[in-house]
Structure formats: C-alpha cells, structure tokens
Amino acid sequence: MAARLPGVTVASVRGLTKAFGERVVLESLDLEIGSGEFIALLGRSGSGKSTLLRALAGLDREVSGELAVTGSVAVAFQEPRLVPWKRVLGNITLGLDAPVERAREALAEVGLTEREQAWPLTLSGGEAQRASLARALVREPDLLLLDEPFSALDALTRISVHQLVLELWARHRPAVLLVTHDVDEALLLADRVLVLDEGRIAHDSAVTAPRPRHRDNPELITLRADLLTALGVSPEGRS
C-alpha cells in the first residue's frame, strides 16, 4: 500500500447534497481526503456523519454533487457485522478472492490467530472489533472508513484497539476517516479533525502533536476547546 503521497487525494467531494424527503442532511459539502491522512469526523448526533460515510463507501448512490473516490474502500462499522454462520476466518475471506494465507496474516496482525476457528458469537466485543478490522485490512483499502468502531468497547479495550489502529495505519498507510463522538479520541488519533454541522464541514483543524499523544499536550488542550465550541458545547461547563 502506498505511503503518504503529498498532494495526492483518495477522495474528492464537491457540492455533495443528500436529503431524506424534506430533511436536507448534507448540503453542498466539500471535502478532500489526502492519501494516507488520518482524519477524525466529529458532529452532533444526526448531523450526517454516517450519511457522508455511506456516500463515500458507495453504499448510498442517491446523492447529488461530485464524489470521486480513487482506489479501494473498506468500512468497519460500530457493530462488527460478522456473519454468525461463518467462523472468524470465513468472515475475513467472505466475498473475497484473496488466498486464505492473506486472511491469516490479517488475523495475526490484529492478534486473533488463536481465534480463527471461533464462531463470532463467542467473541468478546474487543475481539469482534479486531476481527472486523482484519476483514477491512485484508482488502488493502486506500481509504478505510471507520464508523464509531470503538464506541461499544470498555475503556481498557478501547485503549488497546486505538493502539492497534495506529499501528496498522502506520504499517499500511491507508487514508482513514474515523467517525467518533469523542473529541479526545479524535485528538489522540487523527492528523486532521473535522466537524460536520449544518450539512457541511464547519471546522477543519490539523493536529501536529507527535504520537504517542497525551491529553495534557498544550496543542491538544487548545484544539479541544475549539472543537467543543464548534460542537456547541462550552469547554469548561461555562455557558
């Protein structure tokens, strides 16, 4: 997979508009996603984050505007969506021509080698989420779309899956678009944090702090306050 290529985009969105009946969810939205970028997408509930992801994934074609995605796309959802009648390994290769060795490599990368013959219903939440990441990885995406993949995990599992996602990103360098509700998660992981509001990208910040990042990094403290304001939340509980 390509390393980060400056100036090369994997997705280019211009004037994207999506309405459900009278409700306009995305309104003339513009967004460029660069090769290898790690982007977090924040926004209030119902602001259209999943709608944008579905459009980028090609799962919703009833949109207007220009949407060009170059290269392959893989999606991992909030609930891992493994099919219960296939074992873990079978889930990784589902609908794919790739040799089984590739699926095993992906399982090894997410630390699930021991569980390849397990049934999905016997996996813990963290294991299921890792299996879901392996299924996305084996497709070697140029753009990896993550729709709140960590939100159902307990705090400790979440930290280890964060670590894993950063390692996988550093190794494979797909562009990542991570939808999250968690400002700190966005700041710890991403190079760029977007806020979706009123159907558009209302806020776009670069995060330059080196990784591993700590919450008390001054850049992150400033950005956290800006992002909370952009989300309509007062940072210190003041109104």
Ligand X SMILES: Nc1ncnc2c1ncn2[C@@H]1O[C@H](COP(=O)(O)OP(=O)(O)OP(=O)(O)O)[C@@H](O)[C@H]1O
Which residues of the shown chain bind ligand X in the complex (CB under 6 A)?
20, 23, 25, 43, 45-51
Q: Tell me the HSE value of 24 on the side-chain side, using a 13 A CA sphere.
A: 12
CB atoms within 10 A of CB 177: 29
Rounded CA-CA distance 188/1 in Å is: 24
Nearest distance from residue 89's CB to ligand X, in Å? Answer: 31
Q: Which is nearer to ligand X, 195 or 220 (CB)?
A: 195
* Least distance in angstroms from the C-beta of 81 to ligand X: 15
Work out how close the CB of 217 gets to ligand X at its nearest, in angstroms, rounded to a whole number.
26
Nearer Cβ to ligand X (48/141): 48
By C-beta, is 55 or 188 nearer to ligand X?
55
Nearer to ligand X by C-beta: 110 or 187? 187
Neighbours of 31 (CB within 10 A): 21
Nearer residue to ligand X within complex by CB, 47 or 91 = 47
Q: How far is the CB of 33 from ligand X (least distance, A)?
A: 18
Residues near 43 by beta carbon (within 8 Å), at least 6 away in sequence: 49, 195, 196, 197, 231
Q: Which of these, 123, 178, 116, lies nearest to 149 by C-alpha position?
A: 178
d(CA 213, CA 185): 10
Smallest gap, in angstroms, from Cβ of residue 17 to ligand X? 13
Token pair of 73, please?
A: 């796309």
Q: CB of 145: closest distance to ligand X in angstroms?
A: 12
Q: Which residue carries 């776009």 as its tokens?
A: 204
Q: How far is the CB of 54 from ligand X (least distance, A)?
A: 8
Of 105 and 182, nearer to ligand X (C-beta) is 182
Nearer to ligand X, 116 or 148 (CB): 148
Three-state secondary structure of 57-118: CCCCCCCEEEEEECCCEEEECCCCCCCCCCCHHHHHHCCCCCCHHHHHHHHHHCCCHHHCCC
Count CB neighbours of 74 within 10 A: 19
Inter-residue contact 52 to 60 (CB < 8 Å): no
Q: Residue 105 and residue 9: Cα distance in Å, rounded?
A: 28
